[in-house]
Structure 1
Amino acid sequence: MLSDILPTGFEIGVRYGKVEPGDVVAVVGAGPVGLSAMMTAGLYGASRVIALDVDSNRLDQAMGFGATDSVNSGDSDWAEQVKAKTDGLGVDVAIEAVGLPATFEACTQIVRPGGSVANVGVHGASVELRLQDLWIKDIAITMGLVSASTTPMLLKLVTQHKLDVEKFATHRFDFDGFLEAYETFEAAAETKALKVTIHR
């Protein structure tokens, strides 16, 4: 958790997104990295964290990771629901944590003028950047690869029980259950798995 997902969500999402005290943050994608961004957004004083996903189970889980609100992005009026939770202008910081063109586009739709879009997801396909619509909104778009330079600080917060990373490990297996662990993770939508751990 501390070698990858937590520093990725924090460094590339929260820090690059320049979350400030009082900000409203939307995280598009409630997988482990998105949940890490939700968990750490409070470190920088986010007043509200809106989780977006198409999986209702992941949205339920997000409420235990720092989200204050959730929106099913499969709903036809998802963008209006997000804007209704702000003052109608959109969120201060939109964090993309999936890596799909549609989720990046979603972030650009819900960010307020003067806000930030922090792209965390790894994209395997080209993304359309609608500069003709975005330039006048004066938004910043950031992205990057995690350096894990914040891991020592995050580790201190974990040891002080300020960040509960144990929640990510939803299923535990010993070495005899190796194949079952893979099957559980492969069927995460049915098993409600976030991360599986294998131990001796």
Structure 2
Amino acid sequence: MKAYTYIDKGYFALLEKPEPRILDPKDAIVKVTLASICTSDLHIKHGSVPRAVPGITVGHEMVGIVTEVGEQVHSVKPGDRVTVNVETYCGECWFCKHGYVNNCQSPDGGWALGCRIDGGQAEYVRVPYADQGLNRIPDSVTDEQALFVGDILATGFWAARISEIKEEDTVLIIGAGPTGICTLLCVMLKHPKHIIVCEKSEERRAFVKEHYPDVIVTTPEECMGCTGAYGAPLGGADVVIEVAGYEESFQLAWQSARPNAIVTVVALYDRPQILPLPDMYGKNLTFKTGGVDGCDCAEILSLIEQGLIDTTPLITHRYSLEEIEEAYRVFESRTEGVIKIAVDCLRPVVI
């Protein structure tokens, strides 16, 4: 089968590999129908993920059709259309039982697919702990609608959940990339008083204005004034969710928060960030950080089925698996209004 593979720092290649097989009775094999490129894939390519293993197939955001299951898999069967969770987790350790599945103690726990074990920018993928890692897609939900459930939509849902958003709050989201938009959609479900999106890209600001006209849009330069105008009496947002992943956006996150606010850091950075405690002393901020606990996929699929979440506008480009090199080139360039690229692993179609 064809599989896009991490060779070495700065170098991916589309290779021929053997199709995966069941290695554990809790495994399932999924024929990938649609995958997408994530910024985390670029972090691997640029050498910013030390735990990534050279030789693995990349890709952790995908949907497909189950073709084979191990004898201890009970939640899905061959022929089921499924989402694939970015995280693999056993469901049995202390962390899993408390909902902290990103910290699963299994050797394959946490973000493994496309990082430490073969992922899904390929024709087939093996999914460990399939009962936890796969969710059946309702018949009325398309592959495109479900594509982001297992990763960036799960991340946005988790970020909104842990941010303790209340209806009287002003919520600031920093970054309007794919994860930022997914976070926005999930914050909207909480119905806060104001939602502000801060984004430096003119094209992405235009995207937010077009699709979500009730959302306040600002630039990094104007963000402090905007949160001061719409935020708490002392100035600043009640909740800040940082999704952009830059040093400037990290600093802007705490600066834009009111005293005693919650700052939720969702972004994956490629270098350490500095927490200037003397400068923020007295703001009494609560920081929430870390990787997504992606255990809400069934609920997210239900919300999609009800028409309460729609991420299909995010798919701005589509390529076949054979054209994945070009897809990465376009995604890395961030030109031509790119939000999210889908890779069709079944049909050689370009849209």
Same fold by TM-score greater than 0.5: yes
Give the residue type in structure 2 aligned to 1:6.
L
Give the residue type in structure 2 aligned to 1:196.
I
Aligned partners of 1:149, 1:143: CA distance in 2, in Å?
A: 17
How far off is 1:157 after superposition? 0.7
**Superposed counterparts of 1:94-109, under 5 Å:** 94-109=240-255
Counterpart position of 1:127: 273
2:263 counterpart of 1:117: yes
Give the residue type in structure 2 aligned to 1:136.
G
The higher relative CO (CA closer than 8 Å, separation ≥ 6) is in 1
**Superposed counterparts of 1:114-193, under 5 Å:** 114-188=260-334, 190-193=335-338
Identity across aligned pairs (percent)?
A: 26
> In structure 1, the residue corresponding to 2:282 is in which secondary structure?
helix
How far off is 1:87 after superposition? 4.7
Structure 2 runs not aligned, ≥5 long: 1-147
Contact 2:232–2:238 under 8 Å retained in 1: no
Q: CA RMSD in A?
A: 1.9
How far off is 1:31 after superposition? 0.8
Contact 1:38–1:66 under 8 Å retained in 2: no
**Whose Rg is larger?**
2
2:151 counterpart of 1:4: yes
Aligned partners of 1:158, 1:147: CA distance in 2, in Å?
A: 19
2:197 counterpart of 1:55: no
Q: Please, what TM-score do these two structures have when normalized by structure 2?
A: 0.52
- The partner residue of 2:229 within 84, 106, 113 is 84
Q: Considering fraction of residues, name the structure with more helix.
A: 1
Aligned partners of 2:319, 2:291: CA distance in 1, in Å?
A: 30
Instruction: Describe the shift of the 1:187–1:65 C-alpha distance in structure 2 as closer, same or farther (beyond 3 A).
Output: farther
Aligned partners of 1:52, 1:141: CA distance in 2, in Å?
A: 19
Q: Deviations over 1:116-141 (max 9, x none)?
A: 10000112322221222434222210
Q: Please, what TM-score do these two structures have when normalized by structure 1?
A: 0.89
> In structure 2, the residue corresponding to 1:70 is in which secondary structure?
strand
How far off is 1:170 after superposition? 1.2
> In structure 2, the residue corresponding to 1:161 is in which secondary structure?
coil
Aligned partners of 2:165, 2:328: CA distance in 1, in Å?
A: 36
Give the residue type in structure 1 aligned to 2:227.
V
Counterpart position of 1:68: 215
2:177 counterpart of 1:23: no
Contact 1:21–1:46 under 8 Å retained in 2: yes
- Of 109-118 and 164-173, more deviation after overlay is shown by 164-173
> In structure 1, the residue corresponding to 2:227 is in which secondary structure?
helix
Aligned partners of 1:10, 1:134: CA distance in 2, in Å?
A: 28
How far off is 1:148 after superposition? 1.2
Contact 2:154–2:297 under 8 Å retained in 1: yes
2:343 counterpart of 1:198: yes
Give the residue type in structure 2 aligned to 1:119.
V
Give the residue type in structure 2 aligned to 1:102.
E
Give the residue type in structure 1 aligned to 2:219.
N
Give the residue type in structure 2 aligned to 1:84.
A
Aligned partners of 2:238, 2:214: CA distance in 1, in Å?
A: 15
Instruction: Describe the shift of the 1:180–1:65 C-alpha distance in structure 2 as closer, same or farther (beyond 3 A).
Output: farther
Aligned partners of 1:151, 1:65: CA distance in 2, in Å?
A: 24
Structure 1 runs not aligned, ≥5 long: none
- The partner residue of 1:43 within 172, 175, 189 is 189
Contact 1:19–1:44 under 8 Å retained in 2: yes
How many residues align? The count is 196
Contact 2:170–2:230 under 8 Å retained in 1: no
Give the residue type in structure 1 aligned to 2:257.
V
